[in-house]
Amino acid sequence: MQSSRKVLIFLIMNFIAERLEKEVCGLLPPCMNNGIRVLPPPYGVDSAWYGAKLIGNVSYPF
């Protein structure tokens, strides 16, 4: 069950990346959208955990 969830998350992340790339290229003038690529994170399922880890490691000057 866990592996099928990871496959589904991977497919969704790739779909979102493709759609975002298409929309960004559609908004930019043709001279600027050459070479624009959107890459999904390689860790897909654990994206929220990695984001929280990064925020948790930031030291605040309180």
Q: What's the rounded Cα separation, in Å, for the pair 8 and 59?
A: 35
For 36, other C-beta atoms within 10 Å of its C-beta total 10
Domain chopping of the chain, boundaries: 2-56
Q: In the structure encoding, which two tokens stand for residue 45, read together? A: 């399922």
Q: Which residues of 2-16 are buried (b: 16+ CB within 10 A; e: fewer)?
A: eeeeeeeeeeebeee
Helix locations, the chain, DSSP H: 2-27, 47-56
pLDDT per residue as tens, the chain (62 positions):
456 666 666 666 778 888 888 898 899 898 888 888 887 777 666 777 888 888 888 876 65
